[in-house]
Amino acid sequence: MENKITNTGTANITIDGKSYDLPIMKGSMGAPGIDVRALHKKTGHFTFDPGYTSTCSTESQITFINGQEGQLLYRGYDIESLAENSSFLEVAYLLINGELPNKDQHKKFTSTITQHTMLHDQIESFFHGFRRDAHPMAMMCGTVGALSGFYHDDTHTTVDAARDMAIHRLIAKIPTIAARSYKYSIGQPTVYPDNSLSYAENFLNMCFSVPAEKYKISPTIARAMDKIFILHADHEQNASTSTVRLAGSSGANPYACIAAGIACLWGPSHGGANEACLNMLQEIGTVDKIPEYIARAKDKSDPFRLMGFGHRVYKNFDPRSRVMQKVAHEVLEELDLQNPILDVAMELEKIALEDEYFVEKKLYPNVDFYSGIVLSALGFPTSMFTVLFALARTVGWISQWNEMLEDPSQRIGRPRQLYSGATPRDYVPIDKR
């Protein structure tokens, strides 16, 4: 990985009356970072940063977010431009390789992915080991982790060809696993991949077709699905991406690393936000009740919270939300759905953006505000929302894993702690306690 980090000076800190100089590092965009790698060696101190919210854990050239400006770039390309003009597999190629593919590269990459969509027949038995009411994310996490038992090449981290094969297999098989998790959860038979279909079309077909009748795939719906995948493909060093990198830093099998990312994404504070937003819109129910819920959201003593507004990173519009808003209209128009929940969402967005309380706190709509509505309209139950998120994010995870392996400064992750437990004490035999 070409190093584009520059040293722009030093930061001087004083500890116990002694001064120390630490390098200031600057990337191609974004805020600079103070290099504290030698801090403990020089001073005997660590930094304290729960959640690593002020700590750069790595150098990366994949994704950039400017939260103040509402900007999201994949390899320098604006997310809205990519969603409007590219396919998901083009974006996948971009994230992995650093450049958009030309026609020949795109054709070869698409062909390679298509050839690896089938699952090993023995994997089918894994699904039958789950209860019928098992959450699809449990099946997703367990089955992806189990792939490491089928593809346990020890050269994944050292040989380019083996690494490429793992990348291609994961991108290809994740939709098949996701669709199988859904079919199993509703008691329908397996639908195998169809190599004549595009990536999004194939996934929709595996989810919604049945042997008894022909399933007609709408180009509008397939394109909407493709855009949803693009919008969720990567998002800097979030919790699940950092989990994949941390697992990968030990040299773990790539399928196990992605399974770790899926497990982290499952949490309601991460991948489950769109489900919470849809539940909130359904609770409000009708437009006339919005003022009541707005008042409740402002009341700190009321447990009700507006979901889908604000973001830990974005202090402006989430750029993905603009794309998702358009997708929502296209999908509902295509399906001819008069959805009162969308009416609630539109009016809620309008009021919140004009209300001084929300404007002052910069509580702008994020991608989850509309994605739950769209996925529900497509026919997915809420239990599948995070599965779809994981499907898309696998491309980002595997790109980050691949980049990590090429980074010469990469080391096994080892966060420090401030210990606050008991000081040394004498052992007391059990009969004297």
Tokens at residue 341, please?
């929940």
* 216 burial type by CB count under 10 A (0-12 exposed, 13-18 middle, 19+ buried): exposed
How far, CA to CA in Å, does 282 sit from each of 21, 149, 164, 305, 343? 55, 42, 44, 14, 11
What kind and span of H or E run contains 63?
A: strand 63-66
368 is catalytic: yes
* Residue owning tokens 């989850």: 368
DSSP 79-121: HHHHHHH--HHHHHHHHHHSS---HHHHHHHHHHHHTT-PPPG
- Residues 379, 167: Cα–Cα separation, whole Å: 29
Residue of 311, 318, 336, 355 marked active site: 311
Buried b / exposed e along 77-89 (16+ C-beta atoms within 10 A)? bebbebbeebbbb
Write the single-letter amino acid at 428: V
Q: Where are the beta strands (DSSP E) in 227-359?
A: none
CA atoms within 13 A on the CB side of 252: 23
User: Of 336, 368, 407, 431, which residue is the catalytic one?
Assistant: 368
How far apart are the C-alpha atoms of 27 and 379, rounded to whole Å?
A: 43
Catalytic residues: 311, 368
